[in-house]
Every structure is written in structure tokens, then in C-alpha cells.
Amino acid sequence: MTSERNKGVGRFDLTGRVVLVTGASRGIGAALATALAESGASLVVGARKVENLQTTAEAVSQAGSPVLAVPLDVTDVASIEAAVDAATQRFGRLDGLVNNAGVEDVRPSFDVDETLWDRILDTNLKGAFFAAQAAGRAMRMNGSGSIVNIASLTSMVGVPTAVPYGSSKSGLLGMTRALAAEWAPVGIRVNAIAPGYFRTAMTDVFYENEDWRERMLGRIPMNRFGDLDDLAGAALFLASDASRYMTGQCIAIDGGFLASI
């Protein structure tokens, strides 16, 4: 039965569903975990250090949803599997995954070394795949599930000094489409969100540069940077039955940036 807080939510109602969010200690991950909780989902929030998840867990609880905070390092497959096991042991099922954990390090391509390349690709692409694999195995038991990968504008356009990051996010979009095609017969949908320019702890260094801010705003038709709440609607759409016939797609939330180039 739909709770009073979700009355009228309809197809976007996530009551009774369990969603795992990686990289949930701050930024996009924390914002999406809270939004999913507000629509009724039970949350499993993961980050490398569980103590860093306290603020997110409190926000989820204040939204009225059960929450489990777990240590989760997406570069460690055993850690991923342990997190999924903890989710199913606590809630008895897993219905969704938001593949959000990611890192970025802007550097001219001639200065990229193997260590940097491996760190970014291991987190953003390899980690995302094995998180999807572990979550997908649990979802297959239900005969349904939704995976939302957090892609990037660099999944679709080239950005100078962000070659490792762009490579990882381009690969993530390819992975989204391939998994969507393979897992549709077992009821698992796989889609992606590509955020435009949003200020988070990871991107804060850019926003401290006034010239950069002015230049970027000049390329965004809506003439503003994104607020984290701007991502919530798409995440709820993709996680819920509102998008039940949609898989293998990527939604750009960018204020019109891609449409204008």
C-alpha cells in the first residue's frame, strides 16, 4: 500500500524497493540517495569509509526510509560483493543500483602516467562494471531491476586535459548499452544520466576560477550551472516504473549544453 508521503507519486513511487548507491558520501551520490528515499525506496549507501556516510544516512532517515551504510570500494570486487550481500541480507532483495562512484584528475595528456590512468579507469569503468554485475545477479533473482549509471558530457564530447576521465565515461556509456541489450530478457534495465556542469567537491577546483565560470556559462543556454536537485527527477524516472520500457539510453542534464554546440 502506498504511504501517505508518496500519495499521488504513482509510477514514480519506489515504496518497497531497495536501491544501492555507490559513492554516496557526498555530492551527486548523496543527493540522489536522498531523492530516492523521498520517493519511498529503502537505501543502501556505500563509500570507502563508512563513517563518511553519516550525513547521507541521516538525510535518508529524515526522509522516512530505512537505510544501511556499508563500506564499499568499487576498485575491490570483494568489497562490492560484500556490499551487495549486506543489502540482500538486510532487506531480502535488491531492486536498483546507482553507479555513481567516480574520480577525476585533470591533466594534460602528455603528463598522464600509468598510475593516474589505472586509478581513473579502475574506479569509473571497471568498478562500475563489477558493481553492475554483482547487483545484476541479485536483481535477476527478482526478475526485475534498474541500474542507473552516472555518465558525463565527456561520454559524448571530447574535453581537453580530461582524456582518462573521458575515456572511462565513454566506456561507461558503451557498457550501459551492452548490458541493456544483454540483460533485458531477464528484466533488468540499464540506463545512464550524463550530468552537465554541477559544482561538487570533485569539480570545485574549476568553479574557483572566475574566467572558467564565465566561459562555461556562455556555452550553457540556460545560463546557469546545475543544482544537484536538477538530477533527482531523471534518477527517479529511471529507477521507477515510469521508465519501464526504456533501457540502453542516456539522458543528458546539462542546461542545453549539448544541444547548442
pLDDT digits (tens, 9 = 90+) for 63-93: 999 999 999 999 999 999 999 999 999 999 9
Q: What is the pLDDT of residue 181?
A: 98
Within 10 angstroms of residue 190's Cβ, the number of other Cβ atoms is 27
- Cα separation, 138 vs 186, whole angstroms: 12
- Write out the H or E segment, with its range, that includes residue 46: strand 42-47
Q: What is the pLDDT of residue 218?
A: 92
- Mean pLDDT across the stretch 155-163? 93
Q: What percent of the chain has pLDDT over 90?
A: 87
Q: What is the pLDDT of residue 203?
A: 79
- Cα separation, 189 vs 238, whole angstroms: 9
Q: Listing from the earlier edge strand, what are the strands of the sheet with 250-253?
A: 67-71, 42-47, 18-21, 96-99, 145-150, 188-195, 250-253
Catalytic residue among 165, 197, 207, 245: 165
Q: Is residue 173 part of a domain?
A: yes
Q: What is the pLDDT of residue 1?
A: 36
pLDDT of 95-128, one tens digit each? 999 999 999 999 999 999 999 999 999 999 999 9
Q: Residues 6 or more apart from 55 whose CB is under 8 A from it?
A: 25, 26, 30
Label residue 6 by pLDDT band (50, 70, 90).
Answer: very low
pLDDT of 133-145, one tens digit each? 999 999 999 999 9
Q: Is residue 5 part of a domain?
A: no
Q: What is the pLDDT of residue 145?
A: 98
Supply the CATH number for residue 158's domain.
Answer: 3.40.50.720
The full length of the chain comes to 261
Q: Is residue 155 part of a domain?
A: yes
Q: Is residue 188 part of a domain?
A: yes
Buried/exposed code over 91-108 (b: 16+ C-beta within 10 A; e: otherwise): bebbbbbbbbbbbbeeee
Tell whether the model's pLDDT for residue 129 goes beyond 60: yes
Q: What is the pLDDT of residue 7?
A: 44
Q: Which DSSP category does 218 fall into?
A: T
pLDDT of 19-71, one tens digit each? 999 999 999 999 999 999 999 999 999 999 999 999 999 999 999 999 999 99
Q: Residues 6 or more apart from 156 whose CB is under 8 A from it?
A: 170, 173, 194, 250, 252, 258
Q: Is residue 2 part of a domain?
A: no
Label residue 200 by pLDDT band (50, 70, 90).
Answer: confident
Is 165 in the active site? Answer: yes
* Residue-range definition of the domain harbouring residue 247: 11-260
Q: What is the dihedral of CA 78, 126, 48, 165, to 10 degrees?
A: 170
Number of separate domains in the chain: 1
Q: Residues 6 or more apart from 112 whose CB is under 8 A from it?
A: 163, 164
Tell whether the model's pLDDT for residue 2 goes beyond 50: no
Label residue 212 by pLDDT band (50, 70, 90).
Answer: confident
Closest CA to 18 of 127, 131, 135, 99: 135
Q: Is residue 6 part of a domain?
A: no
Q: Residues 6 or more apart from 223 whose CB is under 8 A from it?
A: 217, 255
Q: Is residue 37 part of a domain?
A: yes
Instruction: Report strand pairing: 96-99 vs 67-71.
Output: unpaired
Cell triple for residue 201? 567537491
Looking at every residue in the chain, the average pLDDT score rounds to 94
Q: What is the pLDDT of residue 9?
A: 65
Q: By the 8 A CB rule, do 59 and 33 touch?
A: yes
